[in-house]
Amino acid sequence: MKTTGIILLILGGFTTIIAIVGAAQGYQTNFSGLGLLVLGAFLMSRANKKEEEVKKKQKWEDGA
């Protein structure tokens, strides 16, 4: 999930930059790359939270 998030963040970033450059040159562009950025950030956040939950559970099991 973390790897997918990183890939989507990179693709979304490139797509958004290209859309901004195209809009600056007067072309009609879509900013669908923003959706990829949001989805990638969500997946990264969820993966990090899941890692923390696993560490807390392991710590709790070791301490009990």
Which of the 8 DSSP states describes residue 45? H
20, two tokens: 């901004």
pLDDT of residue 64: 61
Tokens matching residue 37? 């950025």
pLDDT score recorded for residue 30: 87
| Terminal alpha carbon distance of the chain | 30
Give the pLDDT score at 1. 85
What angle in degrees, to the nearest 10, is found between the helix axes of 33-63 and 2-24? 160
Whether 63 has a pLDDT exceeding 90, the answer reads no
Please report, to the nearest 10 degrees, the dihedral formed by the alpha carbons of residues 11, 50, 48, 56 taken in order: -170
- The pLDDT tens digits of the residues spanning 5-60 come to 999 999 999 999 999 999 999 999 888 889 999 999 999 999 999 999 999 999 99
